[in-house]
Structure 1
Amino acid sequence: MDILSKEQLSVLMEYRDELCVSLYMPAFRTGPEKRQNQIRFKNLVRKAEEQLNAKRLRSGQVEDFLSSIKPLVSDNQFWSFFQSEGFCAFISGKDLFYFRLPLRFDENVTVSGRFHLKPVLGLVYNDSRFFVLALGLNGARFFQCSRHSMNELVMDKVPKNFDEAMQYNEQQKQLHYHTNAPQSGGRGIAVFHGQGGGIDDKKSNILQYFKLVDHGVSGVIGQEKAPLLFAGLDHLFGIYKKANSYPYLARENLAINPEDRTDAELHERAIGVMGSHFLAARDEAIDSYLNLAGTGRTAGDIETILPEAFGGRVDSLLVSPGAPQWGRFDPASRKVEVHESRSGDDEDLLDLACAYTYLKGGAVYDIAPGSVPGVPSPAAVFRF
């Protein structure tokens, strides 16, 4: 599975070309449905060809345009190992971006002057996103989660377990092995101590192993801000906190032996821990809106909120899921047009506001319509 990062979303949102093709499809991990993934994708590419032909491109131009995506149609290995709920691809005459994501998309092909991103926006800014690191001495598993899904991520260059890390150490040098010993205040890199030491040496070696795991986690997470939940024994959590470099490690850990739990059990327990975290953050945003209402630091209409979100002023945004608010937004003039129904190249202005809020470092929270007196949807709290 892939992560659609903040940086990638920003590139896709700002991308403009004469023709931009967006493909979305649901996918299946097991059973006879999984064998249909490749066929479904082939049919979507055919639909893209038809839409490009309708733009009056010549046959050769259409072939050239889709040349970057065509190899995936016949890549049996890619589809055999496919392990995600959904697949999306974004194609222009110059570039190809594709992602295996934990969302079961509706089938859709869109051709316009920009990429169609609404189906993925909820994944990247939704307030229920978090990561789980299930870690023990016998190995590490790393997951991207929401309230409804859990998908394992691959960490590069991380030993399979503590023993493998120690074996590698012994192969390099019997007693001591140093790789780029850290400067004062810098990230610690693997510094293992020889076998035969006491309890302190064992803890030190575990710490170095955990630093390798932390390095693998950082390589996957990048600049994300979603919380990271540690799932493991209490004493190991204490050691991992010393190795951790990710600023959003949850203060509370899931105190279990992850080796004794299935992925489904791990997800259920993780939701139990993180549920209170998300509710507390959302309630804080609601309180901020109510306390600051009337001071000039809040707004409750899309015409005001969207330009401020684009400008990076929105600290938190509360929105009701469901019905879109169609219209157009011109970033250059920051002018907003709201339409009663969709027409032409209209965009969902609520999704745009959510995306810009997220990209500029703000937080987005779902709120049920009318659930909190005095808080409309959308409702924004400004930084200044």
Structure 2
Amino acid sequence: MGKDREGKFHPGKGKPSGANKSEPEIPSDLPVRHPNRNTSKGEDYSKTEATANKSRNATYTEEVTKTQPEELVGDLTKDIFIELASYDQPPCISILLPTHKAGVEVNEQVDMTAFKSALQQAEKMLNEQGTETITTKRMLKPGYDLLREDKFWRSLNEGLAVYIADGFFKFIKLRAPLIQHVRVNTSFYVSPLVPFMVRPEYFYILDIAKKFPRFYRADAIGIEHLQVEELPSGVDDVVHTEEKGDNAVFRTGGKGGVGSANFHGIGAGRPDEKENIALYLEEVDDTIWQSHLNRETVPLLLAGQDFLIPIYRSVSDYKYIWPEALTGNHHQQNDNELYEEAMEVMKPYFEQPLRRALEDYGNKSATELTSTNVGVIIPATYYSRVSQLFVKKGSRIWGTFNEQDNKLDIADQESDKVDDLIDKAVIKTIQNGGEVYFMEADQMPEQGELAAIFRY
């Protein structure tokens, strides 16, 4: 090996020295890597593994969070009820809770705590039924996410119904309390929603006073304050006094505040207090007649002080004023308090369909068109035979019904392999255009869990 001018060594041409010699022996105690050993371990391996984990976690997160909570707003219609009732991709979770609109329960997050407990109970049920862990987490994650929505828990009503399945999370805020219940089954538990469904019965309330009358529409579920722009705000808004020389002129607004009529101080004389009130209430009546009542045949319930009620009846053009009235000053009440009193008075109106159904049951009780036999009633609901179904509140019958084979099996207890047959009977009756009445045991037409009137 020689040096160049700069003193660097350069190897000679040809093969390296010792190239033709045999390979040296490897000492037996020298550590040797196994040929199958992963030589990519170390920093590069860690990066590869981290990337893989990140990819898996991203996929997992995407699967878990793809379903968002959806509120079913507005009236609970038959279509919404049937949509929930017809969902058949188990497992199906139903959570029913009484909730609070305001008060210490809201401040102390009572409803949020109850919902969290319900989610944990549902998770336990799913695990006991053998549902895969990833499916359980995917189903329940929107619920756990909802726990962090403070605005949601401060905007509830009196009841909350939540329905959860894989890829499905819908809830309904209800205007009355529910009995707390958690169920995991092959379908949703929807019969408790029946009392909240839209019914044809409704009525109007007019809270009359010398100032600021209030007008409402109410039904079996709740009350709505109707804003009528042309509604006069008081007697002085209708009857005006003007001094013109030696004459006093009393001027009234026309219907809906349009036009006028005069009462002169000479001749007819000055209208007294009762006449002024009558003119004012007639204007109120004309205004709500034009805005709403001219196309209605439903009851109008009057609320107000004793002396105002007969005056209004005497000037009103509406033929369907309810015979009983809410007497007293109700302007200090909020809408819900007024509604509660109104519903006590209007109870006979809402009970008319039930009374007719019970009367019909009594007339047909000696025939084959009525029954209390659950073995007959439950199959009949599937085949559109039931026109009216009476259900004892709190009843449960577990089992299965094979519609094709017309085979009914009653089970001793609840499990994920049987259905709530009363819930199914309620659903089928409503789907097929029948009526359902939930009743106390002593109100049932006959003793039993169910009673029915058949179409044929």
**TM-score tier after normalising by the smaller chain length:** 0.5 to 0.7
| Contact persistence 1:229–1:253 (CA under 8 A) | no
Q: Secondary structure in 2 aligned to 1:232?
A: strand
After TM superposition, the structure 1 = structure 2 runs for residues 1-384 of structure 1, keeping only pairs within 5 Å, are 3-34=75-106, 35-52=109-126, 55-59=130-134, 61-84=135-158, 86-118=159-191, 120-121=192-193, 123-124=195-196, 133-136=204-207, 138-143=213-218, 145=220, 152=222, 159=227, 162-163=230-231, 195-197=258-260, 205-210=287-292, 230-232=300-302, 254=325, 259=331, 261=333, 263-264=336-337, 266-275=339-348, 278=351, 281-359=353-431, 360-364=433-437, 366=439, 368-369=441-442, 378-384=450-456
Over 3 Å counting, the alpha-carbon distance change for 1:268 and 1:101 in structure 2 is same
Over 3 Å counting, the alpha-carbon distance change for 1:70 and 1:159 in structure 2 is farther
Over 3 Å counting, the alpha-carbon distance change for 1:250 and 1:383 in structure 2 is farther
Q: Deviations over 1:225-278 (max 9, x none)?
A: xx9764336758997969xxxxxx997674557546554464245324314752
* CA distance, structure 1, for counterparts of residue 401 and residue 315 of structure 2: 48
* CA distance, structure 2, for counterparts of residue 110 and residue 197 of structure 1: 65
* CA distance, structure 2, for counterparts of residue 342 and residue 74 of structure 1: 33
| Contact persistence 2:223–2:339 (CA under 8 A) | no
Q: Deviations over 1:93-134 (max 9, x none)?
A: 23322112245445443333311235x14634899x965643
| Contact persistence 2:388–2:434 (CA under 8 A) | no
Q: CA deviation at 1:213?
A: 12
Over 3 Å counting, the alpha-carbon distance change for 1:105 and 1:285 in structure 2 is closer
Q: Secondary structure in 1 aligned to 2:368?
A: coil
Q: CA deviation at 1:15?
A: 0.7
RCO higher in structure (CA 8 A, sep ≥6): 1
**Which residue does the alignment assign to 1:170?**
none
* CA distance, structure 2, for counterparts of residue 300 and residue 97 of structure 1: 35
* CA distance, structure 2, for counterparts of residue 253 and residue 162 of structure 1: 27
| Contact persistence 1:229–1:254 (CA under 8 A) | no
What's the TM-score once normalised by structure 2's chain length? 0.57
Q: CA deviation at 1:90?
A: 0.5
Over 3 Å counting, the alpha-carbon distance change for 1:309 and 1:32 in structure 2 is same
Structure 1: give runs of 5+ residues left out of the alignment.
146-150, 166-191, 215-226, 243-248
What RMSD over aligned residues (CA atoms) do the two structures have, in Å?
Answer: 4.4
| Contact persistence 1:24–1:108 (CA under 8 A) | yes
Structure 2: give runs of 5+ residues left out of the alignment.
1-72, 234-254, 262-278, 304-308
Identical-pair percentage: 19
Amino acid at match of 2:86: E
Report the number of matched residues.
327
